[in-house]
Amino acid sequence: MTKPSEKIVIFDTTLRDGEQSPGATMTHDEKLEIATMLDEMGVDVIEAGFPIASDGDFAAVSDIARNADRAVICGLARANLKDIDRCWEAVKHARQPRIHTFIGTSPLHRAIPNLTRDQMAERIHETVTHARNLCDDVQWSPMDATRTEWDYLARVVEVAIKAGATTINIPDTVGYTAPNESAELIRRLIAEVPGASDVVFATHCHNDLGLATANALAAVEGGARQIECTINGLGERAGNTALEEVVMALKVRHDIMPFTTGVDSTKLMAISRRVASVSGFPVQFNKAIVGKNAFAHESGIHQDGMLKNAETFEIMRPEDVGLNATSLVMGKHSGRAALRSKMKELGYDLADNQLVDVFVRFKALADRKKEVFDEDLIALMQDEERQSEDRIKVDYLRVVCGTEGPQEASLRLVIDGEVKASEATGDGPVDAAFNAVKALVEHHARLQLYQVSAVTEGTDAQATVTVRMEEDGRIVSGQSADTDTVVASVRAYVNALNRLMVRREKGGTDGREISYKDVG
């Protein structure tokens, strides 16, 4: 009889570590929606936020905790009693709450709060004990574990276990480790630290060297049974281990990695698109599993092979990740019923009133484009969702451009229900149009990123535009898609300004400036 495969706990931190990517801030409702999707797809633990970081984070973690059906809901706390109490206040509403507390243990991180090794060990004992008195499920992380001296790491892991931690997470905070070292570190901790066999070891890998998924899977090889990851690999700097990569790697190579997960892989594509949309971080075309090209075959030899037998060039089927093998192309003669069923296929269940709005936009698009592909409809839906709650909306834009400058823009915006108009010139149509926006919406945000990509092929393709801006430490991003690149640019800019207004109202920098000095 074959031994049943061991289950790997999938810990998703899109809403905490993922949201820490500069510009990836999500609204309260967006966080709730993503948490529901994660819960429904079978993620075991959702790290919903960092409750002490801001009132907004606290409210999101509390509401996610109240709503979750299946998943453990976890909140992050630094190594001080105030953080831990605040975290407990937020997660305690969950059926299965977890407190995750951490402290930087490497020499570089120990220097920040200026604690000696003994003082830090004492602090770990005190804070983990406090967390455990509040909650039965406590996770502890030595931040920058992979650059912590072995003897000290082993010592503090033991302290945390003795104080009652139930999961020990070993973060590769700066993406420094490599697969063999990652496996060996976990193996050695389990073998040598007293009490290690009573807790679950977790791996949390950053992707600075592009090794995050490989390091996480190697840690499993070494004995870790929880993988921390994010949708689309979102996260600080180069991001984290991507959830979709881990889930599919374990599925496709079950022969050499005999582990299972409770994640329904057919929901991966839908959540990937949704996270890309709400975070403003588009998925790179060649991203494994969820990138636009992950299942596209360009070269003749590949296309020929695919037609004869898909397995020649694909190690998994598009359906396995929630992509449709055959896709019905929509056009201007398609009716409401066809649109509704197509949207359902793409993961959008439209209510009657929403269908009316989306149908109007679809018809307008189909008038400008011969064939409307799935990607066009997804871009349209994402735009619809982004703009529904915006206080500033684009009503009219006309741009004059050509070889003779300066280019000119006439713009009308609806701001809190009031129509306002402006005219401006600039170096190129986008610059002119952005100047027209600036004339109506006062701000001193600096444009950090302006990125255009085509949704599909052809000169009538929609362009998706992403902008990222920074004002007083607040970083926001905006996105939009349209067959007119300048219209898409202005809508993306306005979308970012809407987010900026929300952030300004919240005050501060949304907790992003929170410092590690407060470990005690």
Q: Which residues bind ligand KIV (CB under 6 A)?
A: 17, 102, 141, 143, 169, 171, 173, 204, 206
Residue burial 147-175, b: 16+ Cβ < 10 Å; e: rest = bbeeebbbbbbbbbbebbbbbbbbbbbbb
Tell me how far, at minimum, the Cβ of 449 lies from ligand KIV, in Å: 24
Which of residues 234 and 455 has its CB atom nearest to ligand KIV in the complex?
234
Tell me how far, at minimum, the Cβ of 173 lies from Zn ion, in Å: 6
Say how far residue 26 (Cα) sits from the centre of its chain: 9
Which of residues 13 and 62 has its CB atom nearest to ligand KIV in the complex?
13
Tell me how far, at minimum, the Cβ of 281 lies from ligand KIV, in Å: 17
Residue 137 binding Zn ion, by CB under 5 A: no
Residue 172 binding Zn ion, by CB under 5 A: no
Rounded CA separation 367/160 (Å): 63
Task: With contacts defined by CB under 5 A, name the span among 13-21, 60-68, 192-200, 207-215 that binds Zn ion.
Answer: 13-21
22 near 475, Cβ under 8 Å?
Answer: yes
Contacts for 360-363: CB closer than 8 Å, 24+ residues apart? 362/330, 362/334, 363/332
Which of residues 171 and 223 has its CB atom nearest to ligand KIV in the complex?
171
| Cis preceding linkage at 22, omega within 30 | no
Tell me how far, at minimum, the Cβ of 212 lies from ligand KIV, in Å: 11
Selection from ligand KIV, Zn ion, none that 492 binds (CB < 5 to 8 A by kind) is none
User: Phi and psi of 179, rounded to 5°?
Assistant: -50, -50
Selection from ligand KIV, Zn ion, none that 102 binds (CB < 5 to 8 A by kind) is ligand KIV
Residue 17 binding Zn ion, by CB under 5 A: yes
Which of residues 217 and 377 has its CB atom nearest to ligand KIV in the complex?
217
Tell me how far, at minimum, the Cβ of 44 lies from Zn ion, in Å: 18
Tell me how far, at minimum, the Cβ of 235 lies from ligand KIV, in Å: 8
Three-state DSSP class for residue 212: helix
Which of residues 169 and 213 has its CB atom nearest to ligand KIV in the complex?
169
* C-alpha dihedral, 188 to 191 to 196 to 201, nearest 10°: 40
Selection from ligand KIV, Zn ion, none that 373 binds (CB < 5 to 8 A by kind) is none
Rounded CA separation 6/468 (Å): 42
Q: How many residues does the chain have?
A: 520
Selection from ligand KIV, Zn ion, none that 11 binds (CB < 5 to 8 A by kind) is none
Tell me how far, at minimum, the Cβ of 126 lies from ligand KIV, in Å: 19
Show the DSSP H helices in 195-335 as ranges. Answer: 212-222, 243-252, 268-279, 300-308
Task: With contacts defined by CB under 5 A, name the span among 12-20, 67-75, 383-391, 429-437 that binds Zn ion.
Answer: 12-20
Say how far residue 165 (Cα) sits from the centre of its chain: 27
Which of residues 167 and 489 has its CB atom nearest to Zn ion in the complex?
167
Which of residues 218 and 467 has its CB atom nearest to Zn ion in the complex?
218
Say how far residue 189 (Cα) sits from the centre of its chain: 30
Selection from ligand KIV, Zn ion, none that 493 binds (CB < 5 to 8 A by kind) is none
Selection from Zn ion, ligand KIV, none that 143 binds (CB < 5 to 8 A by kind) is ligand KIV
Selection from ligand KIV, Zn ion, none that 141 binds (CB < 5 to 8 A by kind) is ligand KIV
520 near 123, Cβ under 8 Å?
Answer: yes
Which of residues 71 and 202 has its CB atom nearest to Zn ion in the complex?
202
Task: With contacts defined by CB under 5 A, name the span among 9-17, 151-159, 314-322, 488-496 that binds Zn ion.
Answer: 9-17
Rounded CA separation 173/188 (Å): 19
| DSSP per-residue string spanning 435-503 | HHHHHHS---PEEEEEEEEESSSSTT--EEEEEEEEETTEEEEEEEEESSHHHHHHHHHHHHHHHHHHH
Reading the block at residue 402, the tokens are 């050509």
Tell me how far, at minimum, the Cβ of 50 lies from ligand KIV, in Å: 9
H/E stretch holding 420 reads strand 418-426
Which of residues 208 and 431 has its CB atom nearest to Zn ion in the complex?
208
Site for Zn ion, rule CB under 5 A: 17
